[in-house]
């Protein structure tokens, strides 16, 4: 798909009751009930680039329209005549890259974090000369060609992989597919240096893009608390917290996860990091393993629980908060006196206050008391858009019990 010239693109218009001021002040979305949805608008191809006007016909910017989505318009550019082509992508990517170049010496990071980097619905993680792109919005899926060309031009990556999986694509009416857009798919997991450890990222078949860069600062904080101690890393995935702790001087780490594939990658990471003699894994349901460890009287100096999103939507919030409380209740007895408990949530719907309260209730129900010594968030390669609370999804609360 190529974008129409600005003079040829359709116009969509806010309803008189829509809050145009929010859009003017930077809010990036228009909801379906805020747009005049006549037959012409409803018949637009998902991802169509259009000119947005307020109810008084004043131009507000260039948007991408997906008629069937609750988020019917995503703001791409405040210029109503912006041309969304390869040069436009280059400008956005150069701005994103300049920030990451200041943060990191090695090219392993999240390069684009959707709306916050001016590319709504687009996630790009970089693994050296490999980039994994998640076009989670219809407009980006349609313009993946110029986006990929711009990505090569700006970063020089040799391989670009499109990861078209996840709930976000389904909400946009997009199919699931993973394919190599340029270059050659890696024949083995990609080693990623981070916090003194080496992680193995399966960029073709792993969760999301293959690795979670967002926890980098929380890994580092945990490592500083774990020096000389034993660590339990629950919902470990590829060993994020455990390997960082071992690299930072922990004496031993046990990684627990339900995925044998993820634990194999974690074990390979331990070998690559040079800490395999201090690293063990245990496959099983996290709740069951926590109960078993408690029944066995096991204790650790640092316990970390980084579960999947238990509350991915408002409808799941109550059940999700109960799950977070249960995690805390089962994990707290495993923390040695004076040790640390790190509880994480990546749920959009559970804000920090609700998550912290649920976690603290669980600790109290376990008969423990604690201080909150630190609250962590996603790293600076995951910038927040101030207008979108959803972009601040990751929370990590550090307790001393």
Q: Where are the alpha helices (DSSP H) in 283-338?
A: 286-295, 317-331
Nearest to 24 by CA among 3, 55, 1: 55
Separation CA 259–CA 43 (nearest Å): 43
pTM, whole model, 2 decimals?
0.94
List the domains of the chain with CATH numbers: 6-77 (2.30.130.10), 86-182 (3.30.750.80), 191-400 (3.40.50.150)
pLDDT values of the chain reduced to their tens digit, one per residue, 401 residues: 555 567 789 999 999 988 778 888 999 999 999 999 999 999 999 999 999 999 999 999 999 999 999 999 999 999 999 999 999 999 999 999 999 999 999 999 999 999 999 999 999 999 999 999 999 999 999 999 999 999 999 999 999 999 988 888 888 888 888 999 999 999 999 999 999 999 999 999 877 788 999 999 999 999 999 999 999 999 999 999 999 999 999 999 999 999 999 999 999 999 999 999 999 999 999 999 999 999 999 999 999 999 999 988 888 999 999 999 999 999 999 999 999 999 999 998 899 999 999 999 999 999 999 999 999 999 999 999 988 876 679 999 999 99
Beta bridge partners of 105: none
């Amino acid at each position: 798909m190529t974008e129409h010239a600005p003079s040829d693109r359709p116009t969509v218009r806010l309803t008189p009751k829509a809050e145009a001021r929010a859009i003017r002040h930077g809010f990036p979305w228009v909801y379906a009930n805020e747009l005049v949805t006549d037959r012409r608008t409803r018949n637009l191809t998902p991802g169509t680039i259009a000119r947005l006007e307020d109810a008084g016909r004043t131009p507000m910017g260039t948007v991408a329209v997906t008629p069937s989505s609750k988020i019917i318009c995503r703001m791409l550019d405040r210029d109503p005549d912006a041309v969304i082509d390869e040069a436009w992508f280059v400008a956005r990517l150069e701005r994103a890259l300049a920030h990451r170049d200041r943060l990191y010496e090695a090219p392993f990071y999240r390069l684009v974090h959707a709306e916050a980097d001016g590319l709504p619905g687009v996630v790009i993680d970089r693994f050296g000369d490999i980039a994994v792109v998640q076009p989670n919005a219809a407009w980006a899926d349609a313009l993946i060609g110029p986006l990929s060309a711009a990505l090569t031009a700006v970063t020089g990556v040799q391989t670009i992989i499109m990861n078209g999986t996840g709930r976000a694509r389904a909400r946009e009416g997009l199919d699931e597919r993973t394919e190599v857009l340029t270059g050659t798919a890696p024949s083995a997991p990609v080693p990623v240096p981070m916090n003194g450890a080496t992680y193995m990222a399966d960029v073709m078949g792993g969760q999301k893009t293959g690795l979670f860069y967002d926890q980098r600062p929380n890994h580092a904080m945990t490592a500083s608390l774990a020096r000389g101690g034993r660590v339990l890393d629950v919902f470990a995935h590829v060993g994020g917290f455990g390997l960082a702790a071992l690299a930072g001087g922990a004496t031993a780490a046990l990684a627990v996860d339900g995925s044998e594939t993820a634990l194999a990658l974690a074990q390979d990471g331990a070998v690559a990091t040079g800490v395999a003699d201090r690293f063990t894994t245990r496959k099983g349901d996290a709740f069951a393993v926590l109960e078993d460890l408690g029944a066995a009287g096991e204790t650790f100096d640092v316990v970390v629980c980084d579960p999947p999103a238990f509350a991915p939507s408002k409808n799941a919030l109550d059940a999700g908060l109960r799950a977070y409380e249960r995690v805390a209740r089962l994990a707290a007895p495993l923390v040695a006196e004076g040790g640390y408990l790190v509880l994480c949530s990546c749920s959009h719907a559970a804000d920090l206050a609700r998550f912290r309260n649920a976690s603290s209730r669980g600790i109290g129900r376990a008969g423990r008391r604690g201080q909150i010594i630190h609250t962590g968030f996603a790293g600076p390669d995951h910038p927040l858009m101030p207008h979108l609370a959803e972009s601040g999804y990751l929370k990590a609360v550090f307790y001393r019990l």
